[in-house]
Amino acid sequence: MPQVKLTIASRLDAVPLLGHLVRALCLHAGLASLEANEVEVCVAEVVNNSIKHAYGGDPDHSVAVEVTLLATELTLDIWDSGKSEEPSKIHQDHRQAFSLDPEHPEDFPESGRGLAIIQQLMDSFEYTPGAERNRFRLTKRLKSG
């Protein structure tokens, strides 16, 4: 089971590079370009949330992403040691954020759609707070043959 661990400082300007590296790993795993882009977006959403919410924007911490390639799926575990969130808040259905009126984009909230995007694009996700570290797991199934 091949596994790669990437760690960045909890700085928003480090997230794009991390995203590019995750995208490259997704392509290597056999995901189509569109799927690799989707995974990159989801990882960036989770990492951005770790930096903004778990660490309150403090750049003196780290966020780690462990990418594991299995025969049937790609799992991405995003770890932080910041403030945890209530799992029920994370796991509720956030897809109503997509029911916005496209005729009135000025009414779109600037934030708050990340979990809806993750629910839409990933095959599954799971948030587990811990005493020392929090884990957000994203899973994308691989197409066979």
pLDDT at 24: 96
Question: Could you tell me what percent of the chain has a pLDDT over 70?
Answer: 82
What CATH number does the domain containing 30 carry?
3.30.565.10
Instruction: Please report, as a single letter, which amino acid is at residue 39.
Output: V
Q: SS3 of 140, please?
A: strand
| Global pTM value | 0.85
Could you tell me what percentage of the chain is helix, strand and coil, using 3-state DSSP and rounding each to the nearest 5?
Answer: 40, 25, 35
Tens-place pLDDT, residues 28-84: 999 999 999 999 999 999 999 999 999 999 999 999 999 999 989 999 999 999 999
> Looking at per-residue confidence, does 60 or 112 come out higher?
60
Number of domains in the chain: 1
Instruction: State how far the Cα of 29 lies from the Cα of 26, in Å rounded to an integer.
Output: 5
Domain, as residue range, for 129:
3-141
| C-alpha triplet 104, 108, 110: angle, nearest 5° | 150
Q: Quick one: which of 63, 68, 47, 53 has its CA closest to 1?
A: 68
